[in-house]
Amino acid sequence: MSLSETADARSAATVARARALTPQAPADVPPEWSNVHAPDARKAATRSVVRPPDRRRALRAFLRNPNALVGVLLLAGVALAALLAPALFPGDPLAMVGRPVLWPAQNPRFPLGTDRLGRDVLAGLMHGARVSLAIGFAATAFALTTGVAVGAVAGYCGGRIDAALVKLVEIFQAVPGFILLIVLVAIAQPSTLTLVWAIALVSWPQVARLTRAEVRAVRAKEFVEAARSLGYGHGRIIVREILPNALPPIIVTASVMVATAILMESALAFMGLSDPNVVSWGSMIGSGRELLRTAWPLTAIPGLAIVVTVLALNLLGDGLNDALNPRLSAER
Amino acid sequence: MAALLEVDRLSVAFPTATPVRELSFAVERGETLAIVGESGSGKSLTALALMRLLPPAGRIASGSVRFGGEDLARLDERAMRRVRGAEIAMVFQEPMTSLNPLKTLGAQIGEALRLHEGLSRRAARARAIELLDLVRIPEPHRRVDDYPHRLSGGMRQRAMIAIAVACGPRLLIADEPTTALDVTIQAQVLALLDRLRAELSMALLLITHDLGVVAQWADRVIVMYAGAKVEEASPHVLFERPLHPYAKGLLAASPRLETTRHYRDGPLTEIPGSIGSAARERGCAFAPRCPEAVSACRAQVPALTFAGEDRLVACPVALHTESREAPSPSIADAISTSSRRGEVRRPVL
């Protein structure tokens, strides 16, 4: 290495340090390259990195994100438990199968012990995963369908239709969500289906508001006007031009909504407002509550399952957000 | 034969203003008509009104838009949708945002074809490749599957043009098609539009504030001010002898590289004031900014009057001055230069 090169390297290091110390140096300026004297070239290169060209790139960014991967793996584990539950525990998880209040690992037949009525905790946990995931995803699906439809129509049409739909959304949002949920479930017979509907009814306004805001933003873009100038109808413009461009934040919200729905179901089950004929994590916590001081694992184990599932969905949401939104922000 | 498009006393109204007032003009088959004027003069609103794509608050208050035997101003929405894209198409100003970022070029060109001409997916794709080739996008076979962000601004505008001409419209409205492009690309895009106009035998309605574009590409020019036509002429006549004070001001305010010494010598001038002064003006909308205004200008709106063959102007003062002054030798010289230039006006791409 020649003397001048080392000197160059040293001065470059000094420049870098000075930059780090100067607070007003903009964060997005790439580091100085002493051998390149074309600032535009460097900027251009950075821009193409910031803006992934297609959805495959977004997928790769998503899978490179360690948080997102952990989320996917945890969720896959929960889903696997839900799928394997009927195979591994073919009987009714609510059946009394052993001595009551066995601690975990006390009896090899019941690795996680038994509850106050002698029901297998592991069987309950795995069957509970079925209920939690089913309710979480079904409620989110209904809420998304309703919310996206209402939000898209309101955002696209504007005017009186928009005002009327926003009022409708506001009526739902005026009542605290969980109170409304309790009232709905208390009126209807608590079953899995009514739970799904009730949770969907409580969560769709959020989707509708988000979709409306996104659609309004996209509607103002020129390609929508270009689509109108080509004679496309309103339905085609909403479905094919606007919604795909408004989707990324909605997808991110959906993953968090699943988590929220699972929490809502657990809370209802804890209070005994869930379907009494199926085992769910919330109802397991509820029945373990009375033995909290003597047999805390009865509460802790299903609680942990909820924590893991909700955490997984939130990590997934964060990962999706990171993968889908930089492109959006670069384009706006 | 009637003109392709006949706009008759078209007014566009918003709740608080009437930005286009009693505008009449015609576009002949295969010609290029340019509409010029500063921002806010109602050029773009006129284009949107022709397509019936006005913003929700705006509406066509009066007048008719005759196109192919029908009055577009009174057509119902469903019939209008069949006109848009198929009969009249539009190219927008901003190529960077006028393409859907989530669909490939082929999908975007093909969608119009499948909607209006009922082509199959496969046939639409084949046509899309042909169209990309027609607008001189290199390697159309590969580009057809590209997303818009992989194209430069000029290429995107070419793709926009390909979408617009996909269904063989009889009229193409280009709303400042080159404003967002750099100068070398501007010339290419305009040459492309002009070539397509000839090859596809469509008329071109060119909306611009670039007088250089008008001089080079238009067959006829309409000068608009505050929503009204103030002068109409062929470009070489207008450029050598503008009659309306506003047209004079526009020409004086634009830098020129051509050999007409007339406006090049001396500094660029500006038109004092802003178009906002036209809002509540009673008589001629341009009167507050006009160097030649007389008191009569503020009394009533001046009518469009013929000032020679194929020439209309809405300024009695200018017309009066014009009739008294014989053209000076230098101007006559300039006119002959321009008509010679007119013969070679269309360079081939």
ipTM of the complex: 0.78
Contact flag B81-A227 (C-beta cutoff 8 Å): no
Low pLDDT (below 50) residues in chain B: 326-349
Examine residue B237 and state whether it is found in any structural domain, yes or no.
yes
Torsion angle, alpha carbons of A289, A292, A295, A301, to 10 = 60
Chain A hits for B80, CB-CB cut-off 8 Å, are 231
Instruction: Please report, for the domain that includes residue B130, its CATH number.
Output: 3.40.50.300
Q: Is the pTM of this model over 0.95?
A: no
φ, ψ at B91 (rounded to 5°): -115, 130
Q: What is the mean pLDDT of chain B?
A: 82
Residue A177's region, left for phi above 0, alpha for psi from -120 to 50, else beta, is alpha
Contact flag A221-B97 (C-beta cutoff 8 Å): yes
DSSP3 helix / strand / coil % (chain A, rounded to 5): 75, 0, 25
CA distances from B76 to B9, B19, B53 (A): 20, 23, 13
Residue B236 and residue B327 share a domain: yes
Last residue of a domain, one of B183, B205, B222: B222
- Provide the domain limits for residue B182: 5-222
Minimal CA–CA distance to A58: which of A255, A330, A332, A322?
A: A322
Residue B168 and residue B20 share a domain: yes
Cβ of A111 under 8 Å from any chain B Cβ?
no
Cβ of B33 under 8 Å from any chain A Cβ?
no
Q: State pLDDT tens for residues A271-317.
A: 888 888 888 898 898 888 888 888 888 899 999 999 999 999 999 88
Cβ of B15 under 8 Å from any chain A Cβ?
no
Residue B260 and residue B317 share a domain: yes
The Cα of B45 is separated from the nearest Cα of chain A by a number of Å equal to 13
pLDDT at B334: 40
The Cα of A217 is separated from the nearest Cα of chain B by a number of Å equal to 13
The residue type at B287: A
pLDDT at A292: 85
3-class SS string, B85-140:
CCCEEEECCCCCCCCCCCCCHHHHHHHHHHHHHCCCHHHHHHHHHHHHHHCCCCCH
pLDDT at B255: 66
Q: Does the pLDDT at position A265 exceed 60?
A: yes
Residue B248 and residue B129 share a domain: no
A209, A146 contact by CB (below 8 A): no
Examine residue B103 and state whether it is found in any structural domain, yes or no.
yes
pLDDT at A216: 93
Examine residue B349 and state whether it is found in any structural domain, yes or no.
no
Contact flag B102-A221 (C-beta cutoff 8 Å): no
Minimal CA–CA distance to A215: which of A143, A170, A165?
A: A165
Last residue of a domain, one of B196, B222, B248: B222
Question: In angstroms, rounded to a whole number, what is the distance separating the alpha carbons of residues A167 and B224?
Answer: 44
pLDDT at B314: 87
Band the pLDDT of A19: cuts 50, 70, 90.
very low
Place of tokens 């009126």: A187
Question: In angstroms, rounded to a whole number, what is the distance separating the alpha carbons of residues B303 and B315?
Answer: 7
Which residues neighbour A271 within 8 Å (Cβ) at sequence distance 6 or greater? A182, A286
Tally the residues of chain A: 332
pLDDT at B267: 64
- The residue of chain A nearest to residue B116, with distances taken between CA atoms, is A231
Which residues neighbour B41 within 8 Å (Cβ) at sequence distance 6 or greater? B224, B225, B226, B227, B275
- The residue of chain A nearest to residue B52, with distances taken between CA atoms, is A229
Residue B205 and residue B149 share a domain: yes
**What letters, b where the CB count within 10 A reaches 16 and e where it falls short, cover A64-102?**
ebeebeebbebbeebbebbeebeeebeeebbeebbeebb
Residue B204 and residue B116 share a domain: yes
Examine residue B69 and state whether it is found in any structural domain, yes or no.
yes
Contact flag B100-A228 (C-beta cutoff 8 Å): no
Place of tokens 């492109």: A327
- List the structure tokens of B257: 């590289």
pLDDT at A214: 92
Name residues 38-67 of chain A within 8 A of B (Cβ): 51, 53-54
Examine residue B302 and state whether it is found in any structural domain, yes or no.
yes
The Cα of B265 is separated from the nearest Cα of chain A by a number of Å equal to 37
pLDDT at B21: 86
The Cα of B184 is separated from the nearest Cα of chain A by a number of Å equal to 20
Contact flag B84-A245 (C-beta cutoff 8 Å): no
Q: State pLDDT tens for residues B241-270.
A: 888 888 888 887 776 555 555 555 666 677
Q: What is the mean pLDDT of chain A?
A: 80
Residue B166 and residue B290 share a domain: no
Q: State pLDDT tens for residues A189-240.
A: 888 899 999 999 999 999 999 999 999 999 988 899 899 999 898 999 999 8
Residue B53 and residue B104 share a domain: yes
B34, B213 contact by CB (below 8 A): yes
Tally the residues of chain B: 349
Q: State pLDDT tens for residues A129-177.
A: 998 899 999 999 999 999 999 999 999 998 899 999 999 999 998 988 8
Last residue of a domain, one of B222, B238, B260: B222
Q: Does the pLDDT at position A78 exceed 50?
A: yes
The residue type at A300: A
The Cα of A222 is separated from the nearest Cα of chain B by a number of Å equal to 5
Q: Considering chain A, what percentage of its residues have pLDDT values greater than 70?
A: 81
Calculate the CA A214 to chain-centre distance: 18
Residue B191 and residue B63 share a domain: yes
Question: In angstroms, rounded to a whole number, what is the distance separating the alpha carbons of residues A64 and B141?
Answer: 32
Examine residue B41 and state whether it is found in any structural domain, yes or no.
yes
Cβ of B102 under 8 Å from any chain A Cβ?
yes
CA distances from B189 to B39, B137, B147, B349 (A): 22, 11, 20, 10
φ, ψ at B171 (rounded to 5°): -135, 130
Question: In angstroms, rounded to a whole number, what is the distance separating the alpha carbons of residues B118 and B131?
Answer: 17
Chain B hits for A237, CB-CB cut-off 8 Å, are none
Total domains, chain B? 2
Cβ of B59 under 8 Å from any chain A Cβ?
no
Sorted by where each starts, the structural domains of chain A and their CATH numbers stand as 3-50 (no CATH), 55-331 (1.10.3720.10)
Examine residue B278 and state whether it is found in any structural domain, yes or no.
no
The residue type at B324: R
φ, ψ at B7 (rounded to 5°): -100, 125
Q: Is A75 helix (H, G, I), strand (E, B) or coil?
A: helix
pLDDT at A278: 86
Residue B102 and residue B60 share a domain: yes
Residue B112 and residue B65 share a domain: yes
DSSP letter at A239 equals I
A226, B90 contact by CB (below 8 A): yes
Residue B37 and residue B119 share a domain: yes
Question: In angstroms, rounded to a whole number, what is the distance separating the alpha carbons of residues B299 and B283?
Answer: 5
CA atoms within 13 A on the CB side of B256: 23
User: What mean pLDDT comes out for the span A87-102?
Assistant: 81
DSSP3 helix / strand / coil % (chain B, rounded to 5): 40, 20, 40
A77, A322 contact by CB (below 8 A): no
